[in-house]
Amino acid sequence: MTSEWGVYVHIPFCQARCTYCDFNTVTGMTVDDHRRYTAALLKEWDREVAPDGALVSIYFGGGTPSLLDPILIGRVIQRVLARVSCDAAEITVETNPATVTEQRLAALRKSGVNRLSIGAQALQNHHLSALNRTHDVDAINKTVEMARWAGFDNISLDAIYGLPGQTMAEWQATIEGLLALDPEHLSLYSLIVEEGTPLKRAVERGLARLPEPDRVADMADWAEERLTRAELFPYEISNYARPGRESRHNRLYWQMEPYLALGAGAHAYRPGRRWWNVRGVRRYMETVEGGRDPMDSEEFLTKEEEMREFLWLGFRQRIGVDVGRFQQRFSLDPRQAFHSTLGDLHIKGLMIASADHLVLTRRGRDMANVVARALVDADVDVSIHSPRAAADGASF
């Protein structure tokens, strides 16, 4: 199997801070800062050693990558593609509807970007305003229309459920409105109230009231049923796609394939090792400009840790854990190595096993925290290497 890998490019600039956001972002930077930061990205890329295999994805995430001049985005793409093997990579730019025009979208498309991930978040202006989003509902609709005009045939839309004061009817209207835009992909996130955010303070002071957890679960259920009927199929806990339009970039993460990362605070992974850059934007630029490695820290993962993570990330996907890929990677059968834990999940009705996949049941997905805990606590048997022995022990 040819290995695949990707590049994540972090663009930390935003127009304003959304109330729920704890990402590594900065506001108030100038166009000169953008140019300087891009030059640092190119310099960092020149230090990188590309993994073996084919590059399948370049992902510009943020922050708000669509704030960057498309010429600068194009420069990064060209520099990356200049020295790697790549037939047809998915090249995604996260896009805020407040930052685009027809010309900018056409220029992005021309620079090689072939997928947009548009942050819609909600289709009610009062929710967008409460979240401190810098766009309204009209801008979302216009962005999709302009993106189609510019030639984008692969569009993902993000939305959040469980917002303060959000009713089921509003969530249903959001889903219907997004469906009317005919996206190839949807990412639906349950709101997480992160420490240190304005939203957290508002919740603590009683200024923002979150919906009850049962109601939030009902929103997720309703969306899944509606989107499946519309042939946008769930393929991961938060993600839906038309067949063949699943995100290749996300799949790299979930299948534990290597990805390099450029930019302030960006995280990279190769089998057995994870590392990340310094978080501050100015510090990142100064470090790279000074010819130094911007890596802040790294961690090494044992085989056992990687196996647990592989199982967990596999369970997040609807298709489940690919037993063959697990065996290929670790020279062990997961049904043997985790026999007791997986057997227990099976007996409790949280997981089922087919010949080649281990899949969470609906109950298992609802109790994902129990499954995660079980994997963390699992006893791992790394002594069985015989394919015969693995096959004999394949059932629970």
Residues 51 and 59: their CA atoms lie apart, in Å, by: 16
- Tokens coding 242: 């038309």
The Cα-based distances of 284 to 26, 60, 240, 297 in angstroms read 13, 17, 35, 13
Of the residues 6, 63, 164, 314, which one makes contact with ligand SF4 according to CB under 6 A: 63
**In the complex with ligand SF4, which residue's Cβ is closer, 17 or 248?**
17
User: Is residue 266 a contact point for ligand SF4 (CB under 6 A)?
Assistant: no
User: Is residue 17 a contact point for ligand SF4 (CB under 6 A)?
Assistant: yes
Q: Is 87 exposed, middle or buried (0-12, 13-18, 19+ CB in 10 A)?
A: exposed
- Tokens coding 348: 């409790």
Q: Minimal distance in Å, beta carbon 131 to ligand SF4?
A: 8
User: Is residue 375 a contact point for ligand SF4 (CB under 6 A)?
Assistant: no
Instruction: Bin 151: left if φ > 0, else alpha if -120 < ψ < 50, else beta.
Output: left
DSSP string, 238-280: TEEE-TT-S-HHHHHHHTT--EEEESTT-EEEETTEEEEE-S-
User: Is residue 143 a contact point for ligand SF4 (CB under 6 A)?
Assistant: no
User: Is residue 23 a contact point for ligand SF4 (CB under 6 A)?
Assistant: yes
Of the residues 6, 51, 62, 364, which one makes contact with ligand SF4 according to CB under 6 A: 62
- Tokens coding 127: 């929710």
Q: Minimal distance in Å, beta carbon 16 to ligand SF4?
A: 7
Q: Are 57 and 248 in contact (CB under 8 A)?
A: yes
Q: Are 95 and 117 in contact (CB under 8 A)?
A: yes
Q: Minimal distance in Å, beta carbon 119 to ligand SF4?
A: 6
Q: State the number of binding residues for ligand SF4 (CB under 6 A).
A: 11
SS3 state at 332: coil
- Tokens coding 307: 């196996």
Residue type, 261: A
**In the complex with ligand SF4, which residue's Cβ is closer, 18 or 188?**
18
Residues 199 and 127: their CA atoms lie apart, in Å, by: 13
Q: Minimal distance in Å, beta carbon 129 to ligand SF4?
A: 13
Residue type, 19: T
At CB < 8 A and 24+ separation, what contacts does 221-229 make? 222/168, 222/171, 222/172, 222/175, 223/161, 223/171, 223/175, 223/188, 226/172, 226/175, 226/176, 226/179, 227/175, 227/179, 227/186
Q: Candidates 11-19, 108-116, 204-212, 225-233 — which segment interacts with ligand SF4 by CB under 6 A?
A: 11-19
Q: Candidates 19-27, 38-46, 71-79, 101-109 — which segment interacts with ligand SF4 by CB under 6 A?
A: 19-27
Q: Minimal distance in Å, beta carbon 63 to ligand SF4?
A: 5
Of the residues 11, 14, 159, 353, which one makes contact with ligand SF4 according to CB under 6 A: 14
User: Is residue 265 a contact point for ligand SF4 (CB under 6 A)?
Assistant: no
Residues 298 and 311: their CA atoms lie apart, in Å, by: 22
Q: Minimal distance in Å, beta carbon 132 to ligand SF4?
A: 8
**In the complex with ligand SF4, which residue's Cβ is closer, 34 or 329?**
34
Residues 99 and 65: their CA atoms lie apart, in Å, by: 9
Q: Are 99 and 66 in contact (CB under 8 A)?
A: yes
Q: Are 239 and 227 in contact (CB under 8 A)?
A: no
Q: Minimal distance in Å, beta carbon 62 to ligand SF4?
A: 5
Q: Candidates 57-65, 107-115, 149-157, 246-254 — which segment interacts with ligand SF4 by CB under 6 A?
A: 57-65
User: Is residue 105 a contact point for ligand SF4 (CB under 6 A)?
Assistant: no
User: Is residue 25 a contact point for ligand SF4 (CB under 6 A)?
Assistant: yes
User: Is residue 96 a contact point for ligand SF4 (CB under 6 A)?
Assistant: yes
User: Is residue 18 a contact point for ligand SF4 (CB under 6 A)?
Assistant: yes
User: Is residue 189 a contact point for ligand SF4 (CB under 6 A)?
Assistant: no
Q: Minimal distance in Å, beta carbon 277 to ligand SF4?
A: 17
Binding letters toward ligand SF4, positions 195-234, x by CB under 6 A: ----------------------------------------
Residues 170 and 215: their CA atoms lie apart, in Å, by: 13
User: Is residue 95 a contact point for ligand SF4 (CB under 6 A)?
Assistant: no
User: Is residue 160 a contact point for ligand SF4 (CB under 6 A)?
Assistant: no
Q: Candidates 14-22, 218-226, 283-291, 369-377 — which segment interacts with ligand SF4 by CB under 6 A?
A: 14-22
Applying CB under 6 A, the residues found at the interface with ligand SF4 are: 14, 17-18, 21, 23, 25, 62-64, 96, 119
